[in-house]
Amino acid sequence: MEIQGRTALVTGATGGLGAAVARGLAARGAKLVLTGRKVDVLERLATEIGGKAIPADIADPAQLDRLLAEAGELDIVIANAALPAGGPLSDFTVEEIDRALAVNLRSVIVLAKHTTEGMVRRGSGRFVIMNSLQGKVATAGSAIYSATKYGLRGFASALHQDLHGTGVGVSVVFPGFIREAGLFADSGAKLPPWVGTKSPVDVANAVVRAIERERLEVDVAPLGLRAGALFGGTFPSLGAFVTRKMGGHRIAQDIVAGQRDKRT
């Protein structure tokens, strides 16, 4: 699908990856609708790249409905906003669990329901979900996050099949560790030198590729990490054992500690 001239909604546009994706779509000639909660950051981005800024807390069903009403007809949706929701289950209040499910999972499903209806009527569109390699293989301290990200993968896979032949496609982008900006970079956690990273621009390019080439799933990670995710997803017990032996649990703990302030 060609991006030029299409109207694209980006959720989480105030965040590290969302801003990069919005810039990538703007460079391809999309008309942008940008959303997030930080009004000042959102308006600065809208001024920089052009587009309509609609602040909204998408955990709140009424604000999500208002966002959809104000956004109008959309050709492309990038469902990117998420909370890192890291830490052991025992560490979460039920309210925090509900909030993570509302932001990471419910909002995406509701967005897809309402926006793909119009796309199907018009016979074209693309719904893109920002996932994570933790939607393919779970690590320690990611029970809630991985529940939402695994859920999104299943949702996207089924929706893709339901929409077959309508002209409307679904894509899921799976970033690994992203440097420079976003929830991993903000955590301040350090990786061993043999664990590679990708940049926010790589993620933006992957989103553009997924839309233009109509790809269902796209990974954004070095080959070694992608192979590790494939292995861990296929052999979960063995994968967890190898991850533990390679110090993966310590890295996971550092990331979780650095994301503790992003529970709501």
Q: Residues 92, 145, 177, 184: which is the catalytic one?
A: 145
Of residues 7 and 134, the one with the C-beta less far from ligand NAP: 134
CB of 144 to ligand NAP, least distance (A): 12
Residue (19 or 163) nearer to ligand NAP, CB? 19
Q: Which of residues 202-261 bind ligand NAP (CB under 6 A)?
A: none
| Token duo for residue 222 | 């070095």
Which of these segments, 11-19, 86-94, 159-167, 223-231, binds ligand NAP (CB under 6 A)? 11-19
Which range in 32-40, 117-125, 163-171, 222-230 contacts ligand NAP by CB under 6 A?
32-40
C-alpha span between 157 and 43 (Å, rounded): 34
Per CB under 6 A, 132 contacts ligand NAP: yes
Rounded to a whole number of angstroms, the minimum distance from the CB of residue 88 to ligand NAP is: 19
Task: Indicate the residue among 77 and 130 with the shorter CB distance to ligand NAP.
Answer: 130
Residue 95 tokens read as 């309210």
HSE-CB of 56 using CA atoms within 13 angstroms: 27
86 binds ligand NAP (CB under 6 A): no
For tokens 């289950």, what's the residue?
89
Which of 15, 51, 228, 232 binds ligand NAP (CB under 6 A)? It is 15
Q: Examine residue 130 and tell whether it contacts ligand NAP (CB under 6 A).
A: yes
Least Å from the CB of residue 18 to ligand NAP = 5
Binding mask 36-75 for ligand NAP (x = CB under 6 A): xxx------------------xxx----------------
Does the annotation count 145 as an active-site position? yes
Distance CA 263, CA 260 (A): 6
Q: Does 8 bind ligand NAP (CB under 6 A)?
A: no
**What is the per-residue binding string for ligand NAP in 150-189, x denoting contact by CB under 6 A?**
-------------------------x-xx---xxx-----
Q: Measured from the CB atom, is 122 or 190 closer to ligand NAP?
A: 190
Residue closest to 20 by CA, chosen among 213, 223, 198, 262: 198
Residues in contact with ligand NAP by the rule CB under 6 A = 12, 14-18, 36-38, 57-59, 80-83, 103, 130, 132, 175, 177-178, 182-184, 262
**Residues annotated catalytic, as ranges:** 145
